[in-house]
Amino acid sequence: MSSQPSDATPARVEHQHTDKGYVPVYTTAVVEQPWAAYTAVDHDVWTQLFERQRTLLAGRASEAFLVAQDAMGMTPDAIPKFSELNNILQRTTGWTLVGVEGLLPELTFFDHLANRRFPVTWWIRKPEQLDYLAEPDLFHDLFGHVPLLMNPVFADYMAAYGRGGVKAHGIGPEALVNLTRLYWYTVEFGLIRDADGLRIYGSGIVSSKGESIYSLESPAPNRIGFDLERIMRTRYRIDTYQKTYFVIDSFEQLMQATEPDFRPIYARLADEPSHPAGTVLESDRVFHRGTGEGWAGDADF
């Protein structure tokens, strides 16, 4: 398969210098998915990634994820049309997919979620990026995030998270850091105890070949029971596999644990130090204590 550049190119507006280096800044507007502009190469990237992940995820992804993905009618045949997925999604849980150019400013993102709109990056990675790319693309967003929006409990959790985000944004940057860690360790990198054992539900894992295996089977990372405040205090890795995964018993547990007002929690945590990503605490419910083998020694966020 040749890797000629796609006709479909995202509109990067400029690069902005931040504490994380130069990052692309995209328009924050909602854009129409330019479906007709996808090339044969784009569709083929979708097909390859879809088939590879579905094979890997049998027996690894949570039952809820696999059932939801099938129910949506996502197939490996071609890049799905947001408009078609929206028909079923709107009827099932009231969510709507909206096309975006890439990562959004936090408040814009929270506002979408609070209103049951899920922003999906419309462009897909190049064939030479099948295994890794640094920013979310269509495969991560659509294959990874969207299926569980069909699940009524998870769908409610995501909207509640959006409202919580708007609120945390009004409280201050430290509250936002705490809340973002919750998103990271649940929505992006969460594990769940299914009837048949430990399974994946986090989007960052289900959309990654390497991490779908690593998160469940490697002896290196910690696997620790979900604990809201513990998670809010825990730093994370953005450039390597996680050092710690947090395990929920059910989406209902997630919903219940996050129902209380977070204000007093944010206030309490403001005076507490954060934990490094790989730390195991006395108070942890440890399912697996990681060996730490192969961990990068540099700092985590």
Binding site for ligand PHE (CB under 6 A): 160-161, 164, 167, 182, 258-262
What residue 122 binds from ligand PHE, Co ion, none (CB within 5 to 8 A, per partner kind)? Answer: none
Binding site for Co ion (CB under 5 A): 203
Structure tokens at 200: 């994946």
Which contiguous run of DSSP H or E holds residue 208? none
Structure tokens at 246: 């947090």
| Three-class SS state of 99 | strand
Q: CB nearest ligand PHE: which residue?
A: 164
Q: Measuring CA to CA, which residue among 257, 262, 217, 260 is closest to residue 241?
A: 217
Least gap, CB of 279 to Co ion (angstroms): 24
Least gap, CB of 216 to ligand PHE (angstroms): 25
d(CA 224, CA 91): 36
CB-nearer residue toward ligand PHE: 66 or 232: 232
Least gap, CB of 251 to ligand PHE (angstroms): 12
What residue 258 binds from ligand PHE, Co ion, none (CB within 5 to 8 A, per partner kind)? Answer: ligand PHE
What residue 164 binds from Co ion, ligand PHE, none (CB within 5 to 8 A, per partner kind)? Answer: ligand PHE
What residue 184 binds from Co ion, ligand PHE, none (CB within 5 to 8 A, per partner kind)? Answer: none
d(CA 227, CA 182): 10
Least gap, CB of 267 to ligand PHE (angstroms): 12
Least gap, CB of 136 to ligand PHE (angstroms): 20
What residue 162 binds from Co ion, ligand PHE, none (CB within 5 to 8 A, per partner kind)? Answer: none
What residue 160 binds from Co ion, ligand PHE, none (CB within 5 to 8 A, per partner kind)? Answer: ligand PHE
Q: Residue 163's CB: how many other CB atoms inside 10 A?
A: 14
Residue-wise burial string across 27-63, b where 16 or more C-beta atoms lie within 10 A, e elsewhere? ebeeeebebeebeebbeebbeebbeebbebbeebbbe
Whether the Cβ atoms of residue 45 and residue 139 lie closer than 8 Å to each other: yes
CB-nearer residue toward ligand PHE: 160 or 177: 160
Least gap, CB of 145 to ligand PHE (angstroms): 15
Whether the Cβ atoms of residue 251 and residue 153 lie closer than 8 Å to each other: yes
